[in-house]
Structure 1
């Protein structure tokens, strides 16, 4: 190979500086998408993370849920970000090399923008975030080339890197700040629920009663949760326009029917306290919460369709989720469009979600779009992945608070048994040798609501094991034997070592 050929090869092959600039362009591309879309399905990372969550082997998904919990979902998002950055970086690297080969760097920049926009649009079908992603990739490449022409003692290669760093840093910081505020769609704000004066008065009264009945224990979450947990199959929540949304009753019915948001809101509203517990949480985890929901009985939607009664129902959601359970479970089911006196938040299923008492949180489908009456059983989303699905929920007394004083120790938590209710909670301060009954909060109205508990005792001189257990409203004691979340939800007595 002659000297001219070697120079050509070196010119076409990326050096470390060009590769680094391409990587920066990839970061900027992701930031540009985030700046416009925020953390929505229009953000280029969302579809990647969702596809990974659905396509990975069920064993890996289950391992992530059981071993890492919420961190597993976060790791999935981090991996998706890495993939998106890598794809944009490869686009930048390839287009930049082509521009050099043609001795026309601007052509490489324009191609990087075009390919960046095309890839982002193919993933999200969202024009503006896709344009922002592609332009951000091109800006980094263009800026790095412009810095080469700056009169400086610094070598051209270093000037190229400095230009890429400067533009990528500006775009990334700006994208993060603007995207965190919601991007072009703006920051999501809760709005007060527009219902009749009587329903509003009932909401205020029920929330006041819940606050008044909450035990005065430092560090213990009140009876209406301050922060309600969220678990979804996708990394980003769907953004739905209520004016265009509807929910349909289909399948084995005499007549399929469909309801708009306004039609549902015009029906007689009710308020219900309902607690939800995640099937994939740890035994003493914190994915158990309670809220006051406003909506209508779900059978008000189903009955007019005259469903067949011999089988079951599949609930389907706008995010692709689906879950099946017996049709009889809908008899006490609820379609909620309000939460704690506000419009249902997007993260909890706006415009409307299902609440099926006594079942694990996973069955309470958010962003509900279809109620399909089935003629024969089908597996739901999680059943297809080995989980047992619907319920009933396991009885649990959780130990979340230990307040150590000079002479006394106070322990406290929440207890939940679905529609069976909680009869009592017992506490042992000697590792299960002896038991004392804890104080329970007054029960809130409703068939599927948690209760708080607290117990205070003289502080021993040495460390000791506190164990708690609950008895449900049917008189059945919470099982002692521990089981992991997979496949039927965690169970067992909760214990904790306390040091005075």
Structure 2
């Protein structure tokens, strides 16, 4: 009786594993019931901090694809192994049905154990059973099939598996064709909860400078262009009806707030900018929106009226967590709307936290729990060697679309500057590498306490120019000149660009 693994066995197992992942994707899409989802989350949570840092600094957003690819490979390997077990059982028992049953039932149990979803697990199990049956068909303990016939059977099975994988991906993409989550979000509920939001958006946008470039963002970033960074590939799927915020910790019985409770509280529409701690100094992860929500301070005071707790661990449905001093969190905002729309899934629907003046990583999405404590603990990124909970660093940006040649031959330079709650006092521009400086024209200041400003400068070019820009915050402190990497506490340095011939 043959017992050693052959190349054909491994090829069939690989085909079955790929088909299982494709079948699961066809059945569930990129949801929590997709068999890759729990593996992706586990890999994200267990990747050592130094590796995370290298991936962020060298690969940027593409680094996120590495753990997705690894999760896909692991999932395919697990289901392929079960197909291999089924093949061996079929040969050892001389019963094809026993091997197919073992592979199919084992795959279903594995999928259920990984995702907790009973019916969607069939999407992974059925392809494994079918490919095990087709690939092992005709094999017996005293197999006398011609080698060529067995080879053709395996090749047909593998080819069919590949065709299924392609068809499953295309079919699912076609099924989900159209705007995705966050691209066409619903309008906010009718007044009074949305009263004044459109006026507020227009007021913020009206502060934008008049520029030659039509491509540079104004004062409000469209939702579809707002940068987005998450720790995992798959976003939690939480409805407003299901959502609640639980206050726990050293506060006695605690408290739970439902979505209806939250939106019945006093409503505000705040312009707030967010900047990613992992971006380069002139990176593109800086945006502003008008957020609709309610201040968090009254809720904190209601659960801890004596102010006994000094720090708070804030948690999201995606497993992310970050800790703040209570006095910092108390200045925060619980948002359920963005630019006059219901908060999109990718930005934390139904509710997220916004902490004024701090790096974007502190603004927990899909908020689920606030644990009030007296002992400081590291948050998600601190455990990985970052210090992303501090105040954002001052920066003036000069992106490609902010460099425009005017009809009269002059060059317009424009961009955005941001310093958190310190505000922007001025932006200095040098066209000779920092030898001399000129004040840029700034957009009108807004009453909001944590928002960027636009800047503009026009000059007559004379050959190639080494352009340098730096911002000065509201306290009179200039943007640091020294260049630093994003890790561990955010990039710094003057922004330099070569402009002209």
Task: Tell me, in whole angstroms, the C-alpha distance in 2 between the residues paired with 1:228 and 1:325.
Answer: 25
Whole-Å Cα distance in 1 between the matches of residues 353 and 138 of structure 2? Answer: 56
State how far apart, in whole Å, the 2-side matches of 1:181 and 1:496 are: 45
Alignment partner, residue 319 of structure 1: 318
- 214-223 vs 56-65, which moves further: 214-223
**Residue in structure 1 matched with residue 415 of structure 2 by the alignment:** 413
In the alignment, which of 154, 160, 180 is matched to residue 160 of structure 1? 154
Counterpart of 1:4 in structure 2 is: none
Counterpart check, 1:495 vs 2:496: yes
The residue aligned with 1:200 is 194
Corresponding residue of 1:5: none
1:145-182: CA deviation from partner (whole Å, max 9, x where unpaired): 6799xxxxx84413431233224323443245415755
Deviations 1:283-335 (A, max 9, x none): 11111111111111112322211342461111122222211111111332100
Q: Which of 14, 21, 29 is matched with 2:20 structurally?
A: 29
How far apart, in 2, do the equivalents of 1:33 and 1:285 lie? 36
The equivalent residue for 1:103 is: 94
Across the aligned residues of Structure 1 and Structure 2, the Cα RMSD in angstroms comes to 2.5
Secondary structure of the corresponding residue to residue 287 of structure 2: strand
Cα deviation for residue 20 of structure 1 reads 2.3
Q: How far apart, CA to CA, are the structure 1 residues paired with 2:53 and 2:459?
A: 40
Compute the displacement of 1:357 (Å): 0.3
Distance 1:120 1:310, change over 3 A: closer
Residue number in structure 2 paired with 1:338: 337
Offset of residue 364 of structure 1: 0.9
- Consecutive unaligned residues of structure 1, counting only runs of 5 or more, are 1-7, 149-153
Q: Residue 425 of structure 2 contacts residue 474 of structure 2 at CA under 8 Å; is this kept in 1? A: yes
Q: What is the TM-score of this pair, normalised by structure 1?
A: 0.90
For 2:84 and 2:406, the matched residues in 1 are separated by: 62
CA distance in 2, matches of 1:256, 1:489: 35
The separation in 2 between residues aligned to 1:86 and 1:310, in whole angstroms, is 47
Q: Residue 431 of structure 1: SS of its match in structure 2? A: coil
In structure 2, the partner of 1:212 is 206
Residue 163 of structure 2 corresponds to: 169
Indicate which of 422, 429, 432 corresponds to 1:430.
Answer: 432
Tell me the distance in 1 between the aligned counterparts of 2:277 and 2:304: 32
Counterparts of 1:168 and 1:49, CA distance in 2: 23
Tell me the equivalent position of 1:478.
479
- CA separation of 1:82 and 1:163: change in aligned 2, threshold 3 A: same
Matches within 5 A, 1:337-416: 337-401=336-400, 402-404=403-405, 407-416=409-418
Match of residue 289 from structure 1:
287
Q: For 1:474 and 1:180, how far apart are their aligned partners in 2?
A: 53
* 1:265–1:24 Cα change, 3 Å: same
User: 2:250·2:309 contact (CA, 8 Å) conserved in 1?
Assistant: no
Structure 1 equivalent of residue 261 of structure 2: 263
- In structure 2, distance between residues paired with 1:414 and 1:206: 20
In 1, the alpha carbon distance for the partners of 2:203 and 2:138 equals 65
Q: How much does 1:214 deviate?
A: 3.1
Sort the Cα spacing of 1:436 and 1:200 in 2 relative to 1 into closer, same or farther, 3 A. same
Deviations 1:373-410 (A, max 9, x none): 11222222222222223211100111112334572323
Question: 4+ residue stretches of structure 1 with deviation over 6 A?
Answer: none
Asked if residue 134 in structure 1 is aligned to residue 125 in structure 2, the reply is yes
Q: Which residues in structure 2 correspond to 1:48-197 (within 5 Å)? A: 48-144=39-135, 155-178=149-172, 181=175, 188=181, 190-197=184-191
Q: Post-superposition shift, 1:27? A: 1.3
Matches within 5 A, 1:434-453: 434-453=436-455
Work out the CA distance in 1 between the residues paired with 2:404 and 2:11: 52
Q: CA deviation at 1:255?
A: 5.1
8 Å CA contact 1:38, 1:180 repeated in 2 = no
Tell me which moved more, 17-26 or 345-354.
17-26
In structure 2, runs of 5+ residues without a counterpart are 140-147
- Partners of 2:398 and 2:294 lie apart in 1 by 34
Q: Provide the aligned length of Structure 1 versus Structure 2.
A: 484
* Structure 1 residues 109 and 213: CA distance shift in structure 2, 3 A: farther
